[in-house]
Amino acid sequence: MTSPTHTLTANKCSVLFKYFLLLLMLVLSIFTSWLASTGQLTSLDERLLGNLFHSNDAFIDSAEDRAESMTLTLSELHAGLLVLQSSEFGISFIVDANIQLGNIVAQATDLVAYGRNFALFNLVALHVIDNTLKLVQWLTPWLILVAEAGLLSILIADTWLSAKNRWHMSLIRFGEGAVITVLLLVIIFPFSINLVRQSSEAVTESLYHESYQALLNTQEHILSSSNAASIKDDASETLALFKNARVKLSEKSSYLASNLTRYVAVTMMEVFLLPMLFTLFLLWLTRSIIRRHTHWNH
């Protein structure tokens, strides 16, 4: 059995250690405030996390350029299909065939409209991510002060307040929330974007170029070309050309659908799924580590 003297000594050492940590955090907070007010904390942040933020900026800028190109090209193709859909084309005395061709054009128009809307949504999401990263980088010195205030509240609650005090759990919850929020914004989210860049950048660029080239080929064939007649011209000539135009348009629509589906899947993985999974995993890991402070009370 443990003697009372040994237990008293252990409790005294535990209390002294808590007061030492509290004093250390107070000194660190004062020093951090001075660094933030003089701008030196920003320089320190640039040296520590500058490469991470710069690589993320380059990755997001490249993704924004791809999304913008895809959005503009899909918008042009959609506008051209709307004009084609509303214009007179086909062979006038074959009504059923004209209706079939018109239905194919309408389906292609709806497909391109869906791809355009998704590309626009992707572009907006990338802008939000980019602006969030830049805002976090600008606020990092002050977010560090918030995290230190959260740690101070945890230390104060565990040092001076008993577990039965109503402020004990409130201060602990505030401290945990502040620390986890700061770590989420400053560390976890940027590192999640960096993990996405390392794991998917090469594959994403390759698949994007394939989908984008397929889109350009479809646009050139359906609307116009410098060395060949457009769908509208073919459909207004002979019956053989009309049938050929209908078959080619159907094939191009299927080809475009498969490439747009692949583009949507890859974009969902790059912009939404992977960042969310990495962020949730790192957040869960960080929260589990932070909540280990409860062992002080035992």
Asked if residue 187 lies in contact with residue 225, where contact means CB atoms within 8 angstroms, the answer is no
pTM strictly above 0.95:
no
pLDDT score, position 247: 61
Question: 148-187 pLDDT, tens per residue?
Answer: 888 888 777 777 777 777 777 888 888 888 888 888 888 8
Question: 94-135 pLDDT, tens per residue?
Answer: 444 555 666 777 788 888 888 888 888 888 888 888 898 888
Interacting residues of 113 by C-beta distance below 8 A, sequence separation 6+: 78
Q: What backbone phi and psi angles, to 5 degrees, belong to 229?
A: -75, 155
Question: 26-50 pLDDT, tens per residue?
Answer: 777 777 777 666 766 666 666 666 6
Alpha-helix residue ranges (DSSP H) falling in the chain: 4-38, 40-86, 95-160, 166-183, 189-222, 231-235, 239-267, 274-290
For residue 107 the two structure tokens come to 């389906």
